[in-house]
Structure formats: C-alpha cells, structure tokens
C-alpha cells in the first residue's frame, strides 16, 4: 500500500487532494441534525449525496442513520429544486412523521442557488411541526464546517429570550462539537456532577448509540428538543467546545440573545478537562465535587505511573481540528513530541471565528520546545511524506491512517471520525478525566505491544 | 399488505405474489419519489463502481472533496499487482473554482499527477457541480492526453443526470472507447478465450471463477473490471464469448461488443451450487468442444463431492428459516432465491435497487406464493415487510445491516463489505456458513431474553 508516496517532498500547486483528510459539509450537517429529538435530516440534492452520507455515518456508528433526499433529476437542476423540496416536505411528514425536518443543501442546490427559506415558507407544514435549514455548500470548509453551520441554524431559527431584559436562568448551554455520542454523555455527566443544569445542543447520544430493543425506532429517545433549543436564549452562559465546530453558534447566540460565551478546547486530556470544569465553577460559583477531584487524582496517578513510557516518543496526529488540537495538548502533557500535526479542514485566520489552527498548534509546540510540522487544509499524502522524512513512534488519527501505519510499520491509535474498521469507539468517551484514562490505555498498549513484538528473546520481559 | 402504509406514488413499486395485484407489472427503473429515505445512489456512484477496479488507472474525481472521500477505497475489489486505484484523488473544488470554473484546477491537477504517477490511463469523473458550472471536461482531458501521450478519459457522471444505472452505462461507454479491434486470429487458438463481465473481484471472486474455467480448458481474456488493467481491457475484443455475471452494470457493454465485434454474450450466475454448475455447463456447451464438456462435468462432480457434505450440514441447521433479500441488481436477487432453496430456506421478501422488468418477471415466476416483491425500497418498507413476513435473515448492503440488527434479524452482506468470496462452489459454502453463523448466533438469545424489572 501507498507504494507511490515518494520521500522527497514534491511540489503541490494544483490545490488538489491526494488521500483526503476531510470530507464535505453535508455529512457534518446530517450528523448535527441527528442531535435534535425526532428530527429527520433532509438532503437537498441528488440521491447519491444522501446515500453516501448515510453510508459513512452508518459505518462509523453502526446504527441505522435515517435521512431523506430531494432526489434531484436533470429537470430540478435546470429549473431549480424548489418544487422538489416542497414535495419532499409534504411526503416526509406524510410517511415518516418526524417532529422536525432539518434541511441541508449540497453543492448542487447551492450552485443553482435554490432559495430554501422561500420554499419552506411556501410548504404545507402540519401544526406543531418544524422545518429549518442550513446552507452547507460542499466546496467550502469541510464536514466540520457543515456541523458548525447546522448547529448555528439551531440558534438562528429557534433560540429566543423569554425572560425580562437582563434576567437569565441558572443553566448553561453546552455546544459539544463534532464528537461521539459517548463524549456528549461524558460532558453531560461532568456537568451533572458539578450540580449544574444545562442544555446541550446538538446531542446525538441516545440517537446514534441507541440501545437494542428488538424494535426499529425511526426516532430514538435522544436528541435536544425544540423547546430546549428555544430556551437556550435564557441561559446564564454558553460553553462552546471546539472552535471550529461550535464557536459560530455561540457567537450567534450572544448576538441574538445576549448570552455570554466562552470558547474552549474539546475537553480531551487533563488540561482541557480542567479548563472546562473551571469555566463551569467560575460561572456558577460552585465547588468542584469530591467525585471529580477523585477522578482527576486517579488520572494524575496513572499519568505518573506511566510517564516513562511516553517521554520523548515522537507522534503524528491528524483528523478534525478541534480534537487534534486537544489531543496535541494531551500528548505534550504526557511528554510526547507531536512532530507532525495535520488537519484536512481549512484553518481560518487567527482572530476570526474559525481561529487559526496552525498558529494555535504551533504556539503549543513552541511553548513545549517541540519543533514540528503543522498544517491545515492538508491531506494524508503530505502527512505520509512528512513521516517518511521524520519517522514517528506512533500515529494517532481516524481509520484512514491505517494505510500509513502499515506502509511505515508504525503503531496506530484510532481516534476521531470516521472509524470504519473497528467497533465500539462511539460508545467509549475520550473526553473528561475518564476519557483521558482510556486514551492512556490505548496509547500505552499500542507502544508496549510494539515493544513486546520487537523484543529479542533475551529482552522480552514480564514486567514493563 | 393492505394495512401497510405506502408512500403515495410507491404503490406501483410493491407487489405480493399470489394476490390480485399479481397480474399488474411492477414499476422499476424510475426516479425515487422526492422526500424518500431512498437506499439508492447516483450516476457518479454507478460509474465509479464499474471503473474503480481498473487497478493501474489513475482515478481523479473532479468536484468538491466529498465524492472522492466517500468512494476512496471502499469497494473491496482485490488486485494482484500495484494498486494505484486504491489512492484517493480529488481536485477538491473550492468556492472560487465554482465561480470562475474548475478547468484550470483540473488541468493543474493532471499536470501534477500524470508525470508523478505515470499511469497508463486516467479516468476523470465529473460530479454534480461540474455538470452545473459546465466545465469542458472533454477539452481539458484531450489537452492532457496530447501533452502526456496517455489516454485521459472524461467520465461524464454528474450525479443528478439519472440513476445509478445511467452511471453503469457511462462507465461502459468509457471502457468501450479503450477497446481496440481484434488482432489475434481466433481460429488458431488451442483453447477458447472469453471475457468475464460484471465481476468486480470482491474478496477475490473473479479469481475463483477464472480458476474453474482454466481447469475446464477455457482462458479468461479480461475481467470487467475486477483486477483488470489497461492493457487487458484494450485486448477485450480478442474473445469469442462474453459471459455476464452482474447484468445491471455490464449488459450494455456486452451488447456494444456484440454490435461492434460480433462477440456473442450469455448471462451466467456463479451464486449458489446449482447456478454455478448450470453456468459452467452453458459455457462449455457454447464451445462445442467434447473435451471441454467432459472436463466441465468432471470439475463439477469433483467440486460437488467436495462441498456438498458441508452444504447438507448447513441445510439441516437452517431448514424452514425465512430470508428477505434487498440487493442492487435483479439477477443477483434471482440467484439468491435459488441459493436459499439449496440450503433449505424460503425467500419471503425480495427487492432490488436497479432491477429490470425482465428480472422482476423471473422473480415473479420463481418466488413462492405470498412473497413480497419490491423495487427501490426504503427502510420503513423494508422494516414492515421483514416483520410481517417473519424473516429470520436479511441479505443486503451497508445501510441495511444495522436496520436488520435493530429488529433482531440476522444479516449477510452481499455488497462490497463482504470479507470472503461468495461466488462459485467454495463461495456457496462460505455463504451457507455465513448464513448459519448469523442466524444461529447465541447473541439473539440476549436480544430475546433480558432482565425483568420489578420482579422478586
């Protein structure tokens, strides 16, 4: 595999991708929409997009992923997709009966310029049902941008201020970012342990990790409800986790309903989890409970017990920007050297809502005195070339990393989205102190398994 | 069947054998209804499926990143040499390219990729948005072909132009362009030479069929397109027969080859013991060579001696169980009905994504009374019919798997996620084994049992 990747860096000016490290907006939008209770995501475009996105999510979550499509034909592409959308809305309510339809566009409907709000206004929407939309052109950003746009639409369509001016209710909005349902559960658990009320949106837990009951539920019990989404406008405060996936919605909510927000890293690793809990503690003037102190203490204990396994080990990390940034910080805290860090998502400029991925990671590396390659809008061909030039002890990333891991014979820890070739990942959190424990387990297992495999008989030891 | 709610406009796509509806023909090959949770894909997907296993080609997807991302190395087509087809290439069109046109970027990508990879042939797939902004794919490909002296072929596969079947046709047209007029004097050959169409070598299936034919005394010239190479495809006209496994994708190419080069074709199926044996006999009879006919019977007899004890064992375990089938093409569905009978099972629901009228007629003939037959189904219909028909197992693809599991129904993947060959005699054993493994798994006890709350 990958026998075609040369070591010498070749000139790449075309802007094309070889072995992409990202995919397109609509799949992120579809995932975010699944985080609303009783919602059917609707793909406004031709059938292939919807089919590919459902397949991709199905493979990662191993649960039925429902979404409808406008089934564009040549006619719709020439005369506009408005009629198709109106028919779709009618048909979806008639047969699938969701409470909410979340429409996202595709590169096709964006390019022909379909006016989605007008089509929605002209549609027959049954009493008590809701239709909303996000524009998600596939030729901008990545799947993370799509997640961000759909989450932002939840604010622009639904958030409202019910309380009198300046009054706020004592709860926090949490925007979890593009993470697995298990991570959303873990973030909620941490918040509950702090004794703080919250609304999380979107929340795919209970939707894409629904329990087996012997029945097929088109709309499993999970997901943020529309009344909850409306109520977000009365919160004391918003925490957005992961700038790329979540900050835009937090900014909109601040603008629309004057809810202050703080933008944090995904709480992956000890430092980011500390920051998340401290933000809650500060805003609600509450104490960190003993239970969480204990979890943190256990994590520190394990980090101490294992630090010598990690120290000085070179690691390459790739994937979605929000989780890669947090993972880089965690690896640094373990004494590892993240020498190659890459995301496929375009990086944005420093200071804008999207923040500068490269600047942020470089700043972390500089502070730790690590010299490394950092790139946004990169592809796995580039990552492979870097690794050929400066080999690493460990590769961390999504399933697509397995090619490089095999080609270069590097231990590999699966992390992020998508993971298509291993089960259970969506059920196991990597966030919070417990998530950090699991990451340590995975990373040290990968490194020590490798030690065992490579050890000569005389060096093969029982205790490590 | 009357109690089942069907989406308006879907009534003509569902039939139950033995009912009064039986006389009405089923609708097929139509566009899905807008608003459906359709299990279907698009033109690009169809074209990509057919062309992807051309192993030494450079497959460049011209469009935004998604189309290339979702189809990067997902087909499970094995190959025996270098594997350029397993790399994911995309022009990754951005907003600026959509406004000003993507031709410059495509030309630049070809300039970057062709000298570096030196492929013998390049396929450039157009996606939805490229069809809309009107990039002149032909011109860019032609210029690159002249510049580098390799064929650079545009694959006009904008997703919205039609269904997946149109994509198959588009891909067949592209393959046909590569084929050169016959060169060898066929009469001088000692062994008959045939082409094998519609096998994408998932889990190495084409290799199995090739080995049977070799034992019989027939050489396979080229497989379309499992484990195939540019040079082999060029020589495709040097065959005296085309056999077609997946008719949905390759019937059209067989017709074109017959028109242009007078190569006759026949439809075969290597799914199940009975169909495999019948197909080998059909091919042998075509050669009219007594030696080949004799060796065919010997091969069949030897293989049956080898596999029948296993299959009988599974038959005992599976007798009386009921299967539901939802697959891509009609011919596969027909074979599966027969194959389930071989292992003692009855098919109670059968549907396809792209079946043709002729396929549905055969299905209607061979299915048992009461069988539900449906075209272009959606999950709601699949769920209802599997439950009302009491299916123990579903055969389908990626998106159907978790649906079946959630209902507590066993599942076999007969699409690109299969991990062992399901074709030929050994494939029939693998299939029976897989059906057995999933239907007879103890996990279903956990589904049915469970704790009782509030007891004691």
Assign 3-class secondary structure to chain A. CCCCCCCCCCCCCCCCEECECCCCHHHHHHHHHHCECCEEEEEECCHHHHHHHHHHHHHHHCCCCCCEECCCCHHHHHHCCHHHHHHHHHHHHHHCCCCEEEEEECHHHHHHCCCHHHHHHCCCCCCCCEEEEECCCCCCCCHHHHHHHHHHHHHHHHCCCCCCCCCCEEEEEEECCCCCHHHHHHHHHHHHHCCCCEEECCCCCCCCCCCCCCCCCCCCCCCECHHHHHHHHHEEEEEEECHHHHHHHHHHHHHHHCCCEEEECCCCCHHHHHHHHHHHHHHHCCCCCHHHHHHHHHHHHHHHHHHHHHCCCEEEEEECHHHHHHHHHHHHHCCCEEEEEEECCCCCCCCCCCCCHHHHHHHHHHHHCCCCEEECCCEHHHHHHHHHHCCCCEEEECHHHHHHHHHHCCCEEECCCCCCCCCCHHHCCCCHHHHHHHHHHHHHHHHHHHHHHHCCHHHCCCCC
**pLDDT over 90 (residue B293):** yes
List CB contacts (< 8 A) between B161 and chain A: 74
Query: In this complex, is the C-beta atom of B87 within 8 Å of any C-beta atom belonging to chain A?
Result: yes
**Do the Cβ atoms of B128 and A87 come within 8 Å?**
no
Interchain proximity A69–B34, CB inside 8 Å? yes
Q: Coil, strand or helix: which one is B14?
A: strand
Q: Across the interface, which of B39, B93, B111 has its CB nearest the CB of A139?
A: B93
Nearest-by-CA chain A residue for B70: A52
Least Cα separation, residue B433 to chain A (angstroms) = 22
Alpha-carbon distance of A396 to A37, in angstroms, equals 33
Which pLDDT does position A213 carry in this prediction? Answer: 80
CA–CA distance, A274 with A304 (Å, rounded to integer):
17
pLDDT of residue B11: 75
Using the Cβ of B117 and the Cβ atoms of chain A, whether some distance falls under 8 Å is answered with yes
Q: Do A47 and B93 touch (CB under 8 A)?
A: no
Nearest to B51 by CA among B225, B191, B251: B225
Give the per-residue pLDDT at B96. 95
Q: Is the pLDDT of residue B26 over 80?
A: no
Packing angle between helix B290-318 and helix B273-287, nearest 10 degrees? 170
Position B212 pLDDT exceeds 60:
yes
Count CB neighbours of B415 within 10 A: 18
Q: What is the pLDDT of residues B136-171, one digit of tens each?
A: 999 999 999 999 999 999 999 999 888 888 999 999
Stretch B196-216: mean pLDDT, rounded? 96
Who among A25, A108, A213 is closest to B132 (CB)?
A108
Binned at pLDDT 50, 70 and 90, residue B21 comes out as very low
- Closest chain B residue to A45, measured at CA: B160
pLDDT surpassing 70 at residue B30: no
Mutating which of A107, A215, A381, A383 best tests the B interface, going by the most B Cβ atoms within 10 A?
A: A107
B8 interface with A at CB cutoff 8 Å: yes
Q: What residues of B are in contact with residue A70 (Cβ under 8 Å)?
A: 34-35
Q: Note whether A14 contacts B91, CB cutoff 8 Å.
A: yes
CA distance A123 to A169: 35
B162-176, B274-288, B348-362: least confident range: B348-362
* Rounded Cα–Cα distance for residues A103 and B34 (Å): 13
For residues A338-352, give the mean pLDDT.
86
Q: Which of A237-241, B247-251, B298-302 has the lowest mean pLDDT?
A: B247-251
Question: pLDDT tens, B33-61?
Answer: 888 887 778 999 999 999 999 999 999 99
So what's the pLDDT on residue B435?
97
Identify all chain A residues contacting B117, using CB atoms and an 8 Å cutoff. 4
Identify which of B7, B64, B399 has the shortest CB distance to residue A58: B399
Instruction: Look at residue B15 and give its three-state secondary structure.
Output: strand
Answer whether residue B24 shows pLDDT above 60. no
Confidence class of residue B6 from pLDDT cuts 50, 70 and 90? low
Does A107 sit within 8 Å of B129, measured CB to CB?
Answer: yes
Contact B55, B79 (CB under 8 A): yes
The answer to whether B66 contacts A74, with C-beta atoms less than 8 Å apart, is no
Q: How far is CA B452 from CA A146, B448, B449, B455, in A?
A: 43, 12, 9, 6
Distance CA A435, CA A268 (A): 7
Contacts of A261 (CB under 8 A, 6+ apart): A173, A237, A238, A239, A240, A250, A251, A253, A254
Residue in A closest to B130 by C-alpha: A108
The verdict on a CB contact (< 8 Å) between A87 and B34 is yes
Distance CA B200, CA B248 (A): 13
Residue B114 has pLDDT above 50, yes or no: yes
Give pLDDT, residue B329: 81
> Which of A385-389, A448-452, B6-10, B442-446 has the least mean pLDDT?
B6-10
Say if B424 is an interface residue toward chain A (CB within 8 Å): no
pLDDT band at A164 (very low <50, low <70, confident <90, very high): confident
> Taking a C-beta distance cutoff of 8 angstroms, is the pair B414, B395 a contact?
yes
Pick the closest to residue A253 from A166, A170, A172, A152 (CA basis): A152
CA distance A359 to A338: 15
- B25 pLDDT band, cuts 50/70/90, is low
Supply the pLDDT for residue A326.
Answer: 98
User: pLDDT of A358-409, one tens digit each?
Assistant: 999 999 999 999 999 999 999 999 999 999 999 999 999 999 999 999 999 9
B448 touches chain A (CB under 8 A): yes
Q: Nearest Cβ partner of B64 from A84, A92, A107?
A: A107
Query: Which structure tokens are listed for B339?
Result: 């194959």
CA distance, residue A193 to nearest chain B CA (Å): 27
Q: Residues B260-288: what's their mean pLDDT?
A: 96
Whether B187 and chain A come into contact, CB under 8 Å, resolves to: no
Q: Is A70 in Cβ contact with B69 (below 8 Å)?
A: no
CB contact under 8 A, A15 and B7: no
- Name the residue facing B69 among A24, A71, A111 (closest C-beta): A24
- Best residue in B29, B62, B92 to probe A by mutation, most A CBs within 10 Å? B92
What's B370's DSSP letter?
T
| Chain A residues within 8 A of B8 when measuring between CB atoms | 91, 94
Query: Are A15 and B161 within 8 A, CB to CB?
Result: no
B92·A108 Cβ contact <8 A: no
In this predicted structure, what is the pLDDT of residue B305?
97
Is A91 in contact with B87 (Cβ distance < 8 A)? Answer: no
Spatial separation of the C-alpha atoms in residues A115 and A134, rounded to whole Å: 11
Q: How confident is the model at residue B4 (pLDDT cuts 50, 70, 90)?
A: very low
User: What integer is the mean pLDDT of A439-462?
Assistant: 96
The lowest-confidence range among A10-14, A126-130, A173-177, B410-414 is A10-14
Indicate whether A438 pLDDT > 50. Answer: yes
Q: Please provide the average confidence, as pLDDT, over all residues in chain A.
A: 95
Tell me what pLDDT residue B82 has: 80
Question: How many angstroms away from the CA of A444 is the closest CA of chain B?
Answer: 30
Give the pLDDT confidence score for residue B453 in this predicted structure: 63
Name the residue of chain A whose CA is nearest to B5's CA.
A95
Query: Which pLDDT belongs to residue B227?
Result: 94
For residue B188, the model assigns a pLDDT of 66
Pairs of CB atoms within 8 A across A/B: 255
């Amino acid at each position: 595999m990958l026998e075609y990747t040369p070591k010498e860096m070749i000139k790449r000016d075309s802007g094309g991708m070889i072995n992409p490290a990202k995919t397109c907006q609509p799949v992120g939008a579809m995932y975010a929409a699944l985080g609303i209770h009783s919602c059917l995501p609707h793909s406004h475009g031709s059938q292939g997009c919807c089919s590919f996105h459902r397949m991709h999510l199905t493979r990662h979550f191993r649960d039925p992923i429902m979404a409808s499509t406008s089934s564009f034909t040549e006619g719709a592409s020439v005369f506009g997709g408005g009629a198709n959308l109106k028919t779709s809305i009618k048909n979806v309510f008639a047969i699938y009966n969701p409470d909410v339809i979340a429409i996202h566009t595709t590169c096709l409907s964006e390019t022909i310029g379909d006016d989605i709000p007008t089509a929605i206004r002209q549609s027959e929407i049954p009493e008590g049902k809701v239709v909303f939309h996000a524009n998600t052109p596939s030729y901008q950003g990545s799947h993370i941008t799509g997640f961000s746009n759909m989450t932002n639409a939840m604010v622009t369509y639904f958030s409202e201020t019910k309380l009198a001016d300046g009054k706020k209710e004592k709860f926090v909005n949490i925007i979890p970012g593009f993470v697995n349902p298990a991570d959303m559960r873990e973030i909620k658990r941490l918040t509950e342990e702090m004794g703080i009320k919250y609304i999380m949106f979107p929340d795919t837990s209970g939707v894409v990790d629904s329990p087996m009951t012997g029945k097929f539920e088109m709309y499993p019990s999970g997901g943020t409800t529309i009344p909850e989404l409306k109520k977000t406008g009365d919160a004391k405060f918003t925490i957005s986790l992961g700038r790329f996936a979540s900050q835009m919605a937090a900014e909109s909510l601040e603008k629309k309903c004057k809810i202050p927000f703080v933008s944090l890293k995904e709480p992956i690793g000890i430092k980011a989890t500390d920051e998340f809990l401290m933000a809650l503690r500060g805003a609600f003037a509450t104490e960190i409970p003993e239970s969480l102190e204990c979890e943190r203490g256990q994590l520190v204990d394990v980090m101490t017990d294992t630090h010598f396994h990690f120290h000085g080990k070179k690691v390459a990390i790739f994937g979605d920007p929000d989780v890669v940034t947090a993972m880089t910080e965690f690896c640094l805290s373990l004494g590892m050297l993240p020498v190659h860090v890459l995301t496929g998502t375009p990086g944005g400029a420093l200071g804008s809502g999207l923040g500068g991925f490269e600047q942020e990671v470089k700043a972390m590396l500089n502070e730790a005195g690590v010299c490394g390659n950092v790139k946004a809008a990169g592809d796995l061909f580039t990552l492979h070339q870097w690794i050929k030039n400066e080999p690493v002890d460990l590769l961390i990333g999504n399933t697509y990393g397995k090619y490089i891991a095999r080609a270069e014979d590097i231990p590999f820890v699966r992390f992020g989205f998508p993971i298509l070739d291993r089960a259970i990942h969506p059920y196991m959190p990597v966030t919070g102190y417990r998530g950090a424990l699991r990451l340590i387990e995975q990373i040290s297992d990968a490194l020590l398994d490798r030690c065992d495999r490579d050890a000569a008989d005389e060096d093969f030891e029982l205790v490590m | 069947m009357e109690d089942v709610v069907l989406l308006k406009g879907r009534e003509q796509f569902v039939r139950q054998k033995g009912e009064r509806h039986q006389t009405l023909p089923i609708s097929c090959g139509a566009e899905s209804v807008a608003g459906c949770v359709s299990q279907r894909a698009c033109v690009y997907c169809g074209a990509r499926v057919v062309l992807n296993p051309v192993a030494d080609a450079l497959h460049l997807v011209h469009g935004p990143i998604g189309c290339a991302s979702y189809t990067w190395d997902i087909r499970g087509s094995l190959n025996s040499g270098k594997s350029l087809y397993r790399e994911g290439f995309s022009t990754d069109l951005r907003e600026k390219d959509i406004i000003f046109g993507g031709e410059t970027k495509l030309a630049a990508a070809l300039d970057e990729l062709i000298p570096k990879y030196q492929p013998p042939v390049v396929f450039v797939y157009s996606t939805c948005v490229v069809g809309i902004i009107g990039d002149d794919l032909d011109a860019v490909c032609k210029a690159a072909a002249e510049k580098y002296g390799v064929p650079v072929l545009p694959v006009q596969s904008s997703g919205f132009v039609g269904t997946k079947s149109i994509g198959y046709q588009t891909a067949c047209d592209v393959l046909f362009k590569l084929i050169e007029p016959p060169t060898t004097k066929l009469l001088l050959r000692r062994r008959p030479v045939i082409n094998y169409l519609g096998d994408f070598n998932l889990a190495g299936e084409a290799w199995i069929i090739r080995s049977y034919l070799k034992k019989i005394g027939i050489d396979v010239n080229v497989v379309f397109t499992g484990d195939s190479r540019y040079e082999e495809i060029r020589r495709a006209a040097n065959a005296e027969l085309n056999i077609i496994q997946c008719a949905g994708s390759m019937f059209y190419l067989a017709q074109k080859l017959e028109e242009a080069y007078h190569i006759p074709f026949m439809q075969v199926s290597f799914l199940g013991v009975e169909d495999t044996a019948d197909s080998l006999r059909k091919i042998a009879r075509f050669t009219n060579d007594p030696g080949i006919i004799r060796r065919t019977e010997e091969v069949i007899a030897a293989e049956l001696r080898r596999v029948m004890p296993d299959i009988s064992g599974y038959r005992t375990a599976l007798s009386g169980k009921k299967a539901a089938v939802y697959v891509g093409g009609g011919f596969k569905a027909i074979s599966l009905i027969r194959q389930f009978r071989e292992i003692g099972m009855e098919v109670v629901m059968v549907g396809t994504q792209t079946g043709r009228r002729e396929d549905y007629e055969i299905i209607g003939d061979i299915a048992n009374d009461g069988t539900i037959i449906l075209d272009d189904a959606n999950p709601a219909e699949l769920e209802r019919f599997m439950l009302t028909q009491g299916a123990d197992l579903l055969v389908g693809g990626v998106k159907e798997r978790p649906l079946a599991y959630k209902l507590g129904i066993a599942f076999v993947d007969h699409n690109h996620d299969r991990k062992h060959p399901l074709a030929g005699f050994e494939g029939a054993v693998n299939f029976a084994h897989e059906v057995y493994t999933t239907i007879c798994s103890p996990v279903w006890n956990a589904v049915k049992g469970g704790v009782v709350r509030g007891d004691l």
